[in-house]
Structure 1
Amino acid sequence: MTSRSVPPAWTFLTNHAHVLLAVAGEPDVRVADVAATVGISERAALSILRDLEDAGYLRRERVGRRTHYTVLEHRPFRHPQTRERDVDELLAIFAARPGATDARRGE
C-alpha cells in the first residue's frame, strides 16, 4: 500500500468546499458522481448540496430529468477570519470554469 492510497488524517478543504468545486466544474453533475468524487455517501452529498443552496452559495433547478446547479457569485466565506473574501477566489484557483482565466499562467 502506497502513501497515496491511504486517506489523509485531515485536509485543508472541507467536504462542503469539495462539493461546491464539483458542481462548479460540472453544473449538470449527478449526485452519485459528486459523492464519488468527494469520497462521501450520496446522502451526505445531498445534505451538503442542500446546505449550500440554503446558504445562498448555489441554485438548483430541474432541467428535464436532471438537476442543474448554478454557483452564485460574490458570496463571502462563512468563517469570521475569511468572510471579507469571496468564494469566487477559491473557485478561480480550483475549478475549471468556462471562460475563467488563470492569471498565474497569463491565460
Structure 2
Amino acid sequence: MPIQTAKEPETAKKEASSWTFFSNHAHVLLSLDAPEDKVLRDVALEVGITERAVQGIVADLEAAGVITRYKEGRCNRYKINRKVKLRHAIESHRSVGDLLDFVHKDK
C-alpha cells in the first residue's frame, strides 16, 4: 500500500478553490439581490456558469416562489421574496432574507 504524503501547497490551493459553501442557486440569488438591475448574462459571468444554467436556476427560484419575474419595457426584472423559508431542514428556520442579510451585511 503506498504511503500518502502531504499535498503540495499548490495542489491544496487548487482543491480548496474548486468548491464553495453556497450552491449556484444561492450565488444567482445573491447576484440578483444587487442594487443595480442585471441581465442574466451578467449574472452568469459573475457566478461563473453559463447563461443557460442561470436561466434554469431562475426558473427553479421562480417556481419555488423565491423570486417573481416581471417585465419592465423589454427587460425582465426580478423581485426577491425575502420571507420564503430556506428549503433544507438544517436551515429551514431561516428565511431567504436572513441569508441575503447575512451575506450582504457589510455592503
Q: Shorter-chain TM-score: what band?
A: 0.7 to 0.9
Which one scores higher on RCO, CA 8 angstroms, separation ≥ 6?
Answer: 1
Determine which structure has more spread, i.e. the larger CA radius of gyration: 2
TM-score by length of 1: 0.79
- In structure 2, what residue type is equivalent to 1:29? K
Count matched residues: 95
Is residue 80 of structure 2 the alignment partner of residue 71 of structure 1?
A: yes
Which of the numbers 36, 39, 44 marks the counterpart of 1:30?
39
Identity of aligned residues (%): 38
Q: Is there any run of 5+ residues in structure 1 with no aligned partner, and where?
A: 96-101
The DSSP-based 3-state class of the residue aligned with 2:94 is: coil
Structure having the larger proportion of residues in helix: 2
Aligned to 1:50: 59
TM-score by length of 2: 0.79
C-alpha RMSD of the superposition:
2.2
The DSSP-based 3-state class of the residue aligned with 1:68 is: strand
- Report how far residue 94 of structure 1 moved: 2.3
